[in-house]
Structures are given as C-alpha cells and as structure tokens.
C-alpha cells in the first residue's frame, strides 16, 4: 500500500506506510490508462510492476530502486492506509550546509522565512524566468539560502508581501541541494517542487514550538546584501572564507597573514 504524489506526467513518487519514498515511472503510452486512477494524495495498491536500479546524476528519492509500470500493472484503492505517515524526508539545515547530504537526491525542508528579496527577471538559456532569494531558519536558528524560480518565486513573494506581520512557516518538498564554491543552498526544481506556506498541520505547530522565542520578524531587503556568514554553519564558513593551502604552500608563501585553525571534530 502506497500514497501517490504526482511530479510530472510520467514520473510519480509513492510513499509507503513507514514514510519511505520510491520513484515510479509511467510511460507516455500508459498515461491514458492510469491517469484516471492516479490522484495526488490517494492511497493505492500497486501490483505487477517491474523494479529497476535507481541511477543517474539526479534522483527524486535516495531509494536504491525505482518502479516501472506495465500495461498489466494493477492499481487499486487502499482502504486501510493510515491518515498520517512518518515524515522521514526532511533534511537538517546543518547537514545540508556541511555537505553531509547526497546532493543528487531531492529533499524536503521546513523553515521560517526570515528574509526575502525582490522578484527578479533572469535570462536562462535565452528565456526570461522569475527568481526570488529567500532566507530560512530552522528550530536551532541555523539559516540557509533558498533560490526559487518561476511560479514558485511569485507564489512565495506574493504571500510574503501580504503577510509580513505574521510568522511564515514554509514547507518545501522535492527541492534540490546546490553547491557553489563550497557554500551549500537549496533551490526549487523544474515543476517538481511543492511549496506549502503556513499550512494547517501538526508538523507546523510542533515546529513553531521549537523555534527560538525571539519574535523575529520577516524582512524584505536587497538579497545581494545578505552575507555569506548568515547562510552557513561554522564549519562551512571556515572553509569558504579561508583559502585552502597545502603545508608546502604555507611554507613557501611570502604573504604575511594571520592563520586560523579549528579542530574538525568539534563541529
């Protein structure tokens, strides 16, 4: 028994009772056959399918395998699937910032929006696309940068502008982890990401209770002025802000400077 979530016309994500996700593919020639039986959020039973190795540079889940539908695959309704299942796919901000999570797999995150920039038009491969930079923080006050594109950018920008007087909790499902010069951030995917803003659910209520009691207000300012330090952990800042040199490089260097060292086991 599985719960169905649509990503693309031919790619779906199925979630088991224990919260484990698996990628499934429905060939274009089978969309008409199964389209009426597959609705996001439905609990279903799937039988007579093929299992493949999950390979590739980017994957929707960390599962080692994926499911392929056949013309003979059976899809029916699951009558006793639980209404709530464990949330096993939320990534820890610190683990993302320290590069501990496989960046080839999409992840879920939950955070409070504390900063958002202006809605910008960026030219990508000759096509204009809206972009929005936001800053999220988790229950431990660790902050991470997030880049949203297209409709996701407009969705979050419009909601944030209209609700600056309240706390905005953002759930982003199926987002990608990006790395640039040692700094990690997250980004929306192409038509695959799902964004929920202040949804009514126990997960959000529990998250709010764990946030620092500092009444931090959301701000709207020029995202280009946000410092790298505000979006990275202590360990990440050490490697990003300090040039990496070998011992030989240091010995032969004529540059007079101050060196900072840290014990990596402390982080």
List the CATH code of the domain at 2-77. Answer: 2.40.50.140
Give the ranges where the chain is alpha helix by DSSP (H): 31-34, 93-97, 150-162, 202-210, 234-241, 247-252
What pLDDT is stored for residue 105 in this prediction? 87
What pLDDT is stored for residue 143 in this prediction? 95
- Between CA 164 and CA 245, with CA 177 as vertex, the angle to 5 degrees is 115
What pLDDT is stored for residue 195 in this prediction? 95
Distance separating alpha carbons of residues 164 and 169, to the nearest angstrom: 12
What pLDDT is stored for residue 39 in this prediction? 77
User: Is there a contact between 19 and 87 (Cβ–Cβ < 8 Å)?
Assistant: yes
Q: Is the pLDDT of residue 61 over 90?
A: no
Of residues 81 and 57, which shows the higher confidence score? Answer: 81
Greatest Cα-to-Cα distance within the chain, rounded to the nearest angstrom: 73
Q: Which sequence spans correspond to the domains of the chain? A: 2-77, 93-234
pLDDT tens digits, residue range 138-191?
999 999 999 999 999 999 999 999 999 999 999 999 899 999 888 999 999 767
E strand or H helix that includes residue 178: strand 169-180
User: Is there a contact between 64 and 102 (Cβ–Cβ < 8 Å)?
Assistant: no
- Start-to-end CA distance of the chain, whole Å, equals 41
CATH class of 93-234: mainly beta
Q: Do domains 2-77 and 93-234 have the same CATH topology?
A: yes
């Amino acid at each position: 028994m599985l719960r169905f979530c649509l990503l693309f016309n031919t790619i779906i994500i199925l979630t088991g009772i224990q919260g484990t996700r698996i990628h499934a593919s429905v060939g274009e020639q089978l969309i008409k056959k199964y389209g009426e039986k597959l609705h996001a959020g439905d609990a279903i039973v799937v039988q007579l399918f093929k299992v493949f190795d999950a390979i590739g540079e980017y994957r929707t889940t960390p599962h080692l395998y994926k499911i392929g539908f056949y013309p003979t695959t059976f899809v029916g309704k699951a009558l006793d699937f639980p209404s709530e299942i464990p949330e096993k796919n939320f990534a820890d901000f610190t683990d993302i910032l320290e590069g501990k999570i496989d960046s080839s797999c999409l992840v879920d995150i939950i955070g409070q929006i504390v900063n958002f920039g202006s809605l910008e038009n960026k030219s990508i491969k000759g096509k204009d696309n809206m972009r929005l930079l936001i800053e999220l923080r988790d229950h431990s006050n660790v902050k991470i940068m997030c880049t949203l594109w297209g409709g996701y950018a407009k969705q979050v920008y419009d909601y944030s502008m209209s609700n600056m007087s309240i706390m905005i909790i953002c759930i982003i499902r199926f987002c990608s982890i990006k790395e640039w010069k040692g700094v990690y951030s997250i980004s929306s995917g192409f038509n695959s990401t799902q964004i929920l803003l202040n949804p009514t659910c126990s997960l959000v209520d529990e998250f709010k209770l764990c946030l620092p009691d500092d009444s931090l207000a959301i701000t709207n300012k020029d995202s280009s002025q946000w410092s790298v330090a505000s979006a990275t952990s202590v360990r990440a800042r050490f490697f990003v802000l300090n040039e990496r040199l070998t011992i030989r490089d240091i010995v032969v260097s004529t540059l007079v400077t101050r060196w900072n060292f840290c014990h990596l086991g402390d982080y």
